[in-house]
Chain A
């Protein structure tokens, strides 16, 4: 107990408290800055853009990874090549995000119309469908969606595997009972499977929320936050390592921490409730 507490203090509590302390100091942690750094976070246009983008990530990334995960879990549950299909979807998880980002930079590669398209997306778009090629990572109307798409590509496998395990936890007899009761497969999905997977869905969704709040590598590698694709974590990195502003970087870190806490508390509570129910 004593040593565990000591370890936690040194390893977790102290860094958090020290970061919180630094977040109230100036650029080089020499002078007191009050709430200045926090004021900056919520007023600076770059920061506001990052917050807005993170919100977009939060909504799209979470909802799509979860619903895609459910769809793949349910559909593969009925086929013989289930294991292979799920392994394929899970595969991106085995690649580092930096590598995934490099791969997708190639996928999104843009050459002006008339030139040979070497990126798969534009090759399909212009050669197969006859549209003009799109500068996926430059065009500010689509670049955020392109990045989110990469995130979804990486994380859907994780969501699928967890949700699939949840789906397998539903006793076959219950589905059979519903079939005899007169439910169509569609009804069974909405009225039986989804409600019974609620806990698992919440676990995956909250995990995705935490991941999305921390999203960094994909943005860093593909656009480095330029052209309106900035996100909070990338902003924190820049404040720290490009501009050497310790105070602002710490303030952003603390805000991220505060944003994650309610999600974690929610997760722990639900976990406890579930333990108690068993």
Chain B
């Protein structure tokens, strides 16, 4: 149970900058997810917190202590690795007890803690097995068990679910969230999977090229991505991006994408006055594009004509890959849709949910609303 403060962390590998000026405050009991594509520096950041990597600059505080110069074992942290990193020559029990033994806990205490953790994770009957006799999911649980018996002040997870199959991953996701509530401990969790970040984190940190792009709750980063990268990274399928121009016509503002023009809702106009006649990137999420025949009437939107290229029925919805003019788009529409391959379809875009990004890198989002 501790607050973690990372100040101005930088890490170079020779001349390659892996993490740049990383600033983050993590409150006690928070579940923070560092997410980003591979090579974005998220694992390096975590390893710096763990003490497995020496940082080039910056300070890390865990609780009230500056831990820069402390070895991993004195930082009161526990870590779960991607490949589980279980000791292959030890039984499950010994794996979990190892850290406690090293810290000279009494036998009875060790026994009690290991059994307690095994019960929480449902691995009591595996305690005498060797890691090689376990399935991937079971190994994962043992690795988590080894972390929780120590009752550390911070848990570090380094892509712990990426070696599990899809179904198990969904299950473990829920279990880890539950575990977090049960243990009430600070968690720093690294993943490249935005779904994991969205579903588990109380706070998400999106990184790219060693730099933080955005910090926020899952819904904040989903609804108000600060730039094009975050907009495209969070959400699946990814947000549609269309090069466009803001134009003023008949005292209304519109988005001109070449093959179609869409009127911008009047309450957003005030924010876009400065962008008139400027090139921008227009973003819209797939679920904000609906089959016109089944769209809710309350949607304030403009419609476009498109040709269906691929139909992917998912049961609860249908994913449509369409072409409108020169733009390829993805829409998640009502399952009742009558869309047929190579046929035309009318899609309605929810203009309340649009995102406008600057054309020039780093493609900042243009403010189009007051955040609640």
Contact = CB atoms under 8 A, between A and B. Distances in A.
Interface of A: 171, 173-174, 176-184, 187, 191-192, 195-196, 198, 277
Given A181-B102, A182-B103, A176 B85 contact: yes
A27 B88 CA distance: 57
Contacts of B86: 174, 177
A173 B85 contact: yes
Contact of B88 (A181, A184, A196): A196
Q: Binding site of B, secondary structure by majority: helix, strand, loop or mixed?
A: loop
Interface stretch (B57-65, B76-84, B286-294, B300-308): B76-84
Contact of B50 (A180, A182, A187, A192): A180
Contact of B79 (A180, A195, A277): A180
A173 B73 contact: no
A141 to B, nearest CB: 42
Interface string B79-102: 101110111110000000011001
Contacts of A184: 73
Which of A174, A176, A179, A196 is the most central at the interface, judged by chain B CB atoms within 10 Å of its CB?
A176
20 contacts: A171-B85, A173-B83, A173-B85, A174-B86, A176-B79, A176-B85, A177-B81, A178-B87, A178-B98, A180-B52, A180-B79, A181-B98, A181-B102, A181-B146, A182-B103, A183-B73, A183-B98, A187-B102, A196-B87, A196-B88
Contacts of A174: 85-88
B72 interface: yes
A192 B103 contact: no
A196 B89 contact: yes
A8 B87 CA distance: 43
Interface in B84-135: 85-89, 98-99, 102-103, 132
A23 B295 CA distance: 98
A183 B85 contact: no
Contacts of A173: 81-83, 85
Interface in B181-214: none
B71 interface: yes
Contacts of A180: 50-52, 72-73, 77-79, 99
Interface of B: 50-52, 71-73, 77-79, 81-83, 85-89, 98-99, 102-103, 132, 146, 150
Which of A171, A182, A187, A277 is the most central at the interface, judged by chain B CB atoms within 10 Å of its CB?
A182
Contact of B81 (A176, A183, A191, A196): A176
Contacts of A183: 73, 98, 102
Contacts of B87: 174, 177-178, 192, 196
Contacts of A196: 87-89
A47 to B, nearest CB: 43
A178 B85 CA distance: 9
Top 4 closest pairs, chain A to chain B, by CB:
A181-B99, A173-B85, A177-B85, A182-B73
A266 to B, nearest CB: 20
Contacts of A192: 87
Contact of A176 (B52, B99, B150): B52
Contacts of B150: 181
A179 B72 contact: yes
Nearest to B47: A176
Given A173-B82, A181-B98, A182-B99, 15 more contacts: A171-B83, A171-B85, A176-B50, A177-B86, A177-B87, A179-B52, A179-B73, A180-B77, A180-B99, A181-B102, A182-B102, A183-B98, A184-B73, A195-B89, A198-B89
